Structure 1
Amino acid sequence: MASRPSFRDRAVVIRSYDFGEADRVIVLLTKQHGLVRAVAKGVRRAKSRFGSRLQLFVNLDVQLYSGRNLATITQADTIDYFGAQLIDDYDKYTAACVMLEAAERLSLDDDPFLYELVIDTLKDLQDTKRPMLVLDTFLLLAMKHAGWAPSLFNCAQCGAPGPHHAFHPAIGGASCGNCRPPGAAEVDPETLHIMWLISHGHESNATVAQAGEAHQLIRAHLQWHLERKVNALSVMDQELQ
């Protein structure tokens, strides 16, 4: 009988959960194979060969065997570990958890962009004093790559040039007065400009108030298009209130 195909890839651990008596399912965002769910056999035993490596915020070089429903991890070597600067800082930790959960929802097959963006964002979170801004930059770039970035200057409905004072995810972002739907948020046009800057890789000198407003707009747009809550975002936002 032919052996199952194996493959090697770079991957970052997105999440994990127990499986059976001693195994664990590791959800990996890989560079070349998209999202991969794989079993790490015996990883919960004290003498596991690589259990300590299969943790959140670890960038790995992994060898896997394909399976019908789950792959199997046969080798895992640590390339980078980002957790040391995150786990003792609540704001950085929660921002990183939101990023990983969002990355799982936004992942596409055979697309290295999101993997590279996750790694770059984990690096940026190491020394930042504004983790929420780093997270929001990630979310805007990831949504842009997925094809549903918010319109931040022109009206998302009719294309009328801005700046505009309203925003609603149902129409795709900024809204002019004529197209403004019920329930649209009243926003400072400078906040939309800040969102445009960070989504295009530029630095922003946003005030705390502007950064908070931008975060709420980005959060609303993300969850509207995902059609489900990002649980880690709810935890993060409870601390901001």
Structure 2
Amino acid sequence: MARPTVHDRAVVIRSYDFGEADRVIVLLTRNHGLVRGVAKGVRRAKSRFGSRLQPFVDLDVMLYPGRSLFTITQADTVGYFGAAIIDDYERYAAACAVLETAERLAQAGNDEDPFFYHAIVAALEKLQTGDPNQIVDAFILQALTHSGWAPSLFDCAQCGKPGPHHAFHPAVGGAVCHLCRPPGAAEVDPETLHHLWLIAHGHASSPTPSQAAEAHRLTRAHLQWHVERKVTALYVMDQ
């Protein structure tokens, strides 16, 4: 019995060449999670929709299920965010970090969970004009919270003692008091943790440059501790 064609919204996470003229496109869809689909013939000059299957595009796609990969039979542009991103190094690196983070965290998620699709589109919209580091940090914190790995940013992650606290360690869950502080914990400005709490909950924040830099380091460390893999785009951002 033939399986039904899938109609969904999606963003491209990454792609790689397949065969002589095809390309495998990794999509983060609204209703089917991460999907790997073959776009046939898109490397040819006369491809029908190859130019649309790029990062930073909100797509309406038709997918035909195969044995191990979907086949992408249609792709229409709903929203294009690349104009303000591609030619700006900081925004481009930040947008890539959003996509790579989503792929790492969505792998273990619910296939029918639309959170990551909507969060990516929202982040790409904000990257048109907003501060790249702060947008990425907010995206990571909200994605970690959705995945059950939110860092504690006020109460001690070990004993629950109310903050503010001056130490942070990803292995124990975030902020820690002086009694629970493990070896190797980072000394942090409590206002940095307050800034992270604000952006994690969708509020505006105006950190100092040193607080913003410290917040980015803590967010990156907490993410990579839990995904146990290097998120390459986050290091590109810091170059």
* TM-score bracket relative to the smaller structure: over 0.9
Deviation at residue 11 of structure 1 after TM alignment: 0.2
Q: TM-score by structure 1 length?
A: 0.97
CA distance, structure 2, for counterparts of residue 96 and residue 87 of structure 1: 9
The one-letter amino acid paired with 1:116 is H
- The answer to whether structure 1 residue 93 and structure 2 residue 95 are counterparts is no
CA distance, structure 1, for counterparts of residue 2 and residue 197 of structure 2: 50
Deviation at residue 234 of structure 1 after TM alignment: 1.4
CA distance, structure 2, for counterparts of residue 183 and residue 62 of structure 1: 47
CA distance, structure 2, for counterparts of residue 154 and residue 40 of structure 1: 49
Partner of 1:127: 129
Deviation at residue 6 of structure 1 after TM alignment: 1.1
CA distance, structure 2, for counterparts of residue 43 and residue 4 of structure 1: 24
Deviation at residue 3 of structure 1 after TM alignment: 2.5
Deviation at residue 68 of structure 1 after TM alignment: 1.9
Secondary structure of the residue aligned to 2:93 is: helix
CA distance, structure 2, for counterparts of residue 96 and residue 198 of structure 1: 17
Q: TM-score by structure 2 length?
A: 0.97
CA distance, structure 1, for counterparts of residue 123 and residue 151 of structure 2: 20
Partner of 2:33: 34
CA distance, structure 2, for counterparts of residue 205 and residue 49 of structure 1: 45
CA distance, structure 1, for counterparts of residue 24 and residue 200 of structure 2: 34
Partner of 2:184: 183
CA distance, structure 2, for counterparts of residue 135 and residue 200 of structure 1: 14
- The answer to whether structure 1 residue 208 and structure 2 residue 209 are counterparts is yes
- The answer to whether structure 1 residue 136 and structure 2 residue 137 are counterparts is yes
Deviation at residue 175 of structure 1 after TM alignment: 0.5
CA distance, structure 2, for counterparts of residue 147 and residue 193 of structure 1: 20
CA distance, structure 2, for counterparts of residue 100 and residue 131 of structure 1: 14
Partner of 1:148: 149
Deviation at residue 5 of structure 1 after TM alignment: 2.4
CA distance, structure 2, for counterparts of residue 7 and residue 180 of structure 1: 50
Structure-to-structure mapping, 1:154-169, within 5 angstroms:
154-169=155-170
Partner of 1:17: 16
Residue deviations 1:39-84 (CA, integer Å, cap 9, x gap): 0001101111100000011110000011221100000000011101
Secondary structure of the residue aligned to 2:128 is: helix
Partner of 1:51: 50
The one-letter amino acid paired with 1:213 is E
Residue deviations 1:122-155 (CA, integer Å, cap 9, x gap): 0000012x21111111111111101101000000
The one-letter amino acid paired with 1:56 is P
Secondary structure of the residue aligned to 1:213 is: helix
Residue deviations 1:162-200 (CA, integer Å, cap 9, x gap): 110000000000011111011000000010000000111
Query: How many matched pairs?
Result: 236
Moved over 4 A (4+): none
Residue deviations 1:76-115 (CA, integer Å, cap 9, x gap): 0000111011011100000000000000111121110111
Secondary structure of the residue aligned to 1:63 is: strand
Instruction: Show structure 2 runs of 5+ residues with no match.
Output: none
- Give % identity: 70
RMSD between superposed Cα atoms in Å? 0.7
- The answer to whether structure 1 residue 226 and structure 2 residue 230 are counterparts is no
